């Protein structure tokens, strides 16, 4: 856990079987910058929690956790790239209010977005591989405003646009009479990649 510091570097950890606490494996709160890299975070209730204006670089981690692999809250702007999200039955990244950029990751689970109005101009998802059976990106409908997501140039495991649309949950999946319809954003996923991003996932040793 790191709280109320300018910078923290967290690497080469094995975090597993951590339950019963909201913090999970690695927890940043009010950490201005820093880096979370080369960690194995496995079978925790929550893998990495980043909140309260924390802005680390998160790279080259292996994550396979029960609920949230990376949980972003409260005006935090981490850069998330070159990670491996291994399990299907949890959120790869769950965002509440804001994120900066998610790129060059392998997802076997999905990105959930709720209420990202704080910094919509920097909330982008690019050059990831999604190997998901249910959803790749899901905007949760809510009474709060959720901005559109720029998710161009990702590979969704298929080149069939109908299959890709089925992997996206956004405003297009809601009835216009739904009270959350006016507040729910759209995932802009075209153009999409026709083949796997070879440089995605963990890099180096």
* Residues 183, 142 contacting (CB under 8 angstroms): yes
Check residue 67 and give its pLDDT: 86
DSSP H helical ranges for the chain:
161-166
Tell whether 107 is covered by a domain: yes
Q: Give CA separation, 177 vs 138, 173, 181, 182, in Å.
A: 20, 12, 7, 9
Tell whether 193 is covered by a domain: no
Tell whether 75 is covered by a domain: yes
Tell whether 205 is covered by a domain: no
Check residue 80 and give its pLDDT: 94
Identify the bridge partners of residue 2 per DSSP, sorted by sequence position: 28
Check residue 182 and give its pLDDT: 84
Expressed as residue numbers, the domain containing 28 is 2-188
Longest CA–CA span in the chain (Å) reads 52
pLDDT profile of the chain (205 residues), mean per 10:
94 88 81 96 91 94 92 87 89 77 92 62 84 88 74 96 94 90 89 97 88
Tell whether 198 is covered by a domain: no
* Closest by Cα among 95, 131, 126, 86 to 113: 95
* Residues 15, 44 contacting (CB under 8 angstroms): yes
Check residue 120 and give its pLDDT: 53
Tell whether 155 is covered by a domain: yes
121 contacts: CB under 8 Å, gap ≥ 6? none
Indicate the number of domains in the chain: 1
């Amino acid at each position: 856990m790191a709280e109320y510091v300018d910078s923290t570097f967290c690497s080469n950890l094995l975090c597993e079987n951590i339950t019963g606490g909201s913090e999970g494996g690695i927890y940043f709160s009010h950490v201005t910058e820093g880096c979370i890299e080369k960690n194995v975070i496995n079978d925790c209730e929550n893998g990495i929690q980043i909140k309260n204006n924390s802005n680390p670089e998160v790279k080259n981690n292996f994550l396979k956790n029960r609920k949230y692999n990376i949980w972003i809250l409260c005006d935090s702007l981490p850069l998330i790239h070159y990670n491996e999200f291994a399990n299907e039955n949890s959120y790869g990244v769950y965002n509440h209010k804001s994120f900066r950029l998610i790129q060059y990751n392998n997802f076997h689970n999905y990105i959930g977005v709720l209420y990202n109005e704080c910094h919509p101009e920097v909330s982008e998802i690019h050059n990831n591989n999604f190997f998901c059976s249910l959803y790749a990106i899901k905007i949760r409908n809510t009474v709060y405003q959720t901005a559109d997501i720029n998710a161009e140039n990702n590979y969704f495991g298929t080149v069939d646009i109908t299959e890709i649309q089925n992997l996206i949950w956004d405003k297009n999946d809601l009835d216009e009479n739904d009270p959350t319809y006016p507040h729910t954003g759209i995932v802009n996923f075209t153009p999409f990649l026709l083949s796997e991003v070879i440089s995605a996932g963990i890099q180096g040793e």
